[in-house]
Amino acid sequence: MCFDVVKSSWNSFILSSISAGEAEYTDLPYEDKITVPTELVEVLQNATAYGKPLLSKEPIVLLKQTSVIESPFISPLMVTLLLLSVAFANLFFHYRYLRWMFWTLQFMIALFITYLVAISDLPCTQWNWLIIPFNPIPVLLWHWRKYWVYPFVAICIVWMIGLLLYPHQVVVPAHYVLVLTTMVSALELKEFSLTRWRK
């Protein structure tokens, strides 16, 4: 038997979005990291292959690698950086519909993450660090945003600093940029408005 290796930044982005919390991560370089259910790790700890423990410091080749499928040219980081650029530009232009496009995206991600944590029984979804910046509360309380927008931004900043200092990386760089995009799109900085400068 043989297998293909898929080194896709989109795979890493999607898998880490689903399992950012209860997953086991190896000490491999980031692009080679794998995500497996915690229960599977417990089973594999007692498993053997060819008379040797399956999980050990020395790698055991079980299948022959045939080819490597690399990531596409457009990565999640590129897409999120583009969204962040548009969000920064909207601080000056104040397009209401563009702002709602960002918050619709945030709300959809929030519903998905909330479903994973609160309802789903899939492995590795009992907790997800992304539920802190991506939860439905900001949209549900949108009418009172002047009271929560700055605390929300502060919480997101603390979240990013905390995960950057955390010894195990549980989110990908694109997640940080996506959270920054959400923070910027939440701000209403009228002093940066082009309309103000035209007066």
Q: Tell me the CB-side half-sphere exposure of residue 198, using CA atoms within 13 A.
A: 5
- How confident is the model over 51-77, as pLDDT tens digits? 777 666 665 555 565 666 566 788 889
pTM of the model: 0.71
State mean pLDDT over 160-178.
Answer: 81
Position 190 confidence tier, pLDDT thresholds 50, 70, 90: low
Asked whether residue 122 carries a pLDDT value surpassing 70, the answer given is yes
Output Rg (C-alpha) for the chain, integer angstroms.
Answer: 21
Residue 190 CA: distances (Å) to CA of 87, 140, 148: 14, 23, 17
State mean pLDDT over 174-181.
Answer: 92
The mean pLDDT of the chain is 76
Greatest CA span in the chain, whole angstroms? 79
